[in-house]
Amino acid sequence: MAKQIGYSKKVMDHFMNPKNVGIMENPDGYGKVGNPVCGDLMEIFIKVKDDIIEDIKFKTFGCGSAIATSSMVTELAKGKNIDEALKITRNDVADELDGLPPQKMHCSNLAADALQEAIKDYKKKKK
């Protein structure tokens, strides 16, 4: 069997076949964050109905781990109540992916932070 070189199978799956990639016209919430460690960028768009995230898309200029973690974050957030989705942490994302190499943990910040920004944006607009 090939020796695992740092990335779990789930990370590779989400990297090769990322879910919810794209942009959204007129999203209900939009979040954009830059990663202070590497300078990469992440954008998340959400459509919300009755406080449930009905649809979600992401666009990133990040590395493979950023792609895999955003794909996972969008999968975790879809169908959730916004307050539940707000509690998704980068550790949840990394756990769901069966771990990330330590030097790549900063990449998972992007996805979780952009999701939080998008939800905050939605809440601000709703007021």
SS3 call for 8: coil
Q: Is 38 one of the annotated active-site residues of the chain?
A: yes
Stretch that binds ligand FES, among 23-31, 43-51, 59-67, 81-89 (CB under 6 A): 59-67
* Pair 43, 50: CB distance under 8 Å: no
SS3 call for 100: coil
Q: Is 63 one of the annotated active-site residues of the chain?
A: no
What token pair was written down for 99?
Answer: 């771990």
For ligand FES, which is the closer residue by CB, 11 or 118? 11
Selected catalytic residue, list 46, 48, 100, 107:
107
For ligand FES, which is the closer residue by CB, 19 or 47? 19
At 92, the amino acid letter reads D
Instruction: Give dist(CA 59, CA 18) in Å, integer.
Output: 11
Residues known to be catalytic: 38, 107
| Chain residues that interact with ligand FES, rule: CB under 6 A | 35, 38, 40, 62-63, 65-66, 107, 110
